[in-house]
């Protein structure tokens, strides 16, 4: 059971963040990382505007579609539709702890129903030729993570799952909000390492609280891949070092300014198709953290990018406000930005089920 080495580094599916504009931006910084969509429910795909929900730029490959759902028939149809749209992987969400997904019988609550998850995986595997993977937690509520994770992992692997992506925290469906579930349950990376040791032939990707590529390299001594969420989104410049540091290959571009220059043709095409500039530039606010002029860059985008008719000249003017010096000192962590980059930019966070 082998997956493409792009699973060595992945960016997490994050609601309201990893849309097609974000993924195109991220792809310009790493050729090798695997990108994931926001979670889409099987019901939305079956009954909604499929082109609006599923369309993506061909430059995004390899890109995976994350599904939420539990009905094997619906998942099968949604997976087949995803394959027809050109996605490289179908990923089933068994980790999101929000009330909405609990009521809809998908997400983390499915940790309590491993047989049902396995049935869904088997149905999707029979329907598509691309990999089917599962993203889960180490357990929920009062479950023993040793038993819960092993039971789910072995069930879905027996059903044909090609890989497991494990967020190394429990999800507390009773007592914690989705936001609190991102940080309060303690991380248990060793539990994921033990899973890998017990299933050596199964690709295991670790997720949760990984704040830098230095940390990613440490995890790669124990598992097959790492998945970054908030660190990759809020400090996108980190992605410029993914290919050199994790794959031994040259980065697509050497500076963020080069990335934005390459992004302009995409922006121009999207604006011509009716997309508002802010829908794209909202993903750029962390691009120059630590560089002189970063605050002016963010402010200019916040003030001018939302105006009707805003065009590429807004981004060009914002970039012109940024100095040439690279950030000094250690790479900042997500925690260090809590009152900084995003607060100063006036940017709100994503919906509460980010990064599961």
Active-site residues, by number, are: 96
Other C-beta atoms closer than 10 Å to the C-beta of 38 total: 22
Angle at alpha carbon of residue 337, lines to 307 and 219, rounded to 5°: 120
**CA–CA dist 127, 245 (Å, integer):** 37
**35: helix, strand or coil:** strand
Burial of 260 (0-12, 13-18, 19+ CB in 10 A): buried
Of the candidates 248, 235, 168, the residue with the CA atom closest to the CA atom of residue 207: 168
**CA–CA dist 152, 137 (Å, integer):** 10
Q: Are 111 and 135 in contact (CB under 8 A)?
A: no
**CA–CA dist 286, 296 (Å, integer):** 12
Q: Are 188 and 137 in contact (CB under 8 A)?
A: no
Angle at alpha carbon of residue 102, lines to 157 and 182, rounded to 5°: 80
Cis peptide before 297 (omega within 30 of 0): no
Of the candidates 16, 68, 41, the residue with the CA atom closest to the CA atom of residue 351: 16
Give the torsion through C-alpha atoms of 20, 22, 28, 31, to 10 deg. Answer: -70
Q: Are 8 and 247 in contact (CB under 8 A)?
A: yes
> Left (φ > 0), alpha (ψ -120 to 50) or beta: where does 26 sit?
alpha
């Amino acid at each position: 059971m082998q997956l493409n080495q792009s699973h060595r580094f992945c960016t997490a599916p994050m609601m309201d963040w990893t849309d097609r504009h974000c993924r195109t931006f991220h792809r310009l910084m790493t050729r090798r990382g695997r990108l994931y969509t926001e979670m889409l429910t099987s019901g939305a795909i079956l009954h909604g505007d499929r082109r609006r929900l599923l369309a993506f730029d061909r430059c995004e490959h390899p890109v995976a579609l994350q599904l939420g759902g539990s009905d094997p028939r619906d998942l099968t149809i949604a997976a087949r539709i995803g394959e027809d749209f050109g996605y490289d992987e179908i990923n089933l969400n068994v980790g999101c702890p929000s009330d909405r997904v609990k009521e809809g019988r998908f997400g983390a609550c499915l940790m309590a129903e491993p047989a049902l998850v396995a049935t869904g995986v088997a149905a999707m595997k029979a329907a598509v030729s691309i990999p089917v993977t599962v993203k889960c937690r180490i357990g929920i509520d009062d479950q023993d993570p040793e038993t819960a994770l092993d039971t789910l992992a072995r069930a879905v692997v027996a059903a044909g799952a090609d890989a497991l992506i494990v967020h190394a925290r429990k999800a507390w469906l009773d007592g914690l909000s989705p936001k609190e579930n991102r940080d309060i349950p303690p991380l248990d990376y060793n539990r994921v390492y033990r899973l890998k040791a017990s299933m050596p032939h199964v690709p295991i990707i670790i997720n949760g609280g990984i704040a830098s590529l230095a940390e990613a390299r440490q995890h790669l001594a124990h598992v097959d891949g790492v998945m970054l969420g908030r660190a990759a989104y809020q400090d996108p410049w980190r992605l410029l070092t993914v290919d050199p540091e994790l794959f031994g290959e040259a980065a697509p571009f050497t500076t963020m300014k080069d990335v934005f220059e390459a992004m302009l043709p995409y922006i121009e095409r999207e604006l011509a198709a009716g997309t508002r500039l802010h829908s794209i530039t909202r993903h750029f606010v962390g691009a120059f953290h630590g560089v002189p002029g970063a605050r002016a860059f963010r402010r200019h985008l916040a003030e001018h990018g939302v105006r009707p008719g805003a065009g590429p000249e807004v981004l060009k003017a914002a970039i012109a406000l940024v100095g040439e010096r690279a950030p000094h000192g250690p790479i900042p962590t997500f925690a260090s930005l809590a009152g900084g980059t995003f607060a100063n930019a006036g940017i709100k966070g994503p919906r509460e089920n980010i990064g599961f």
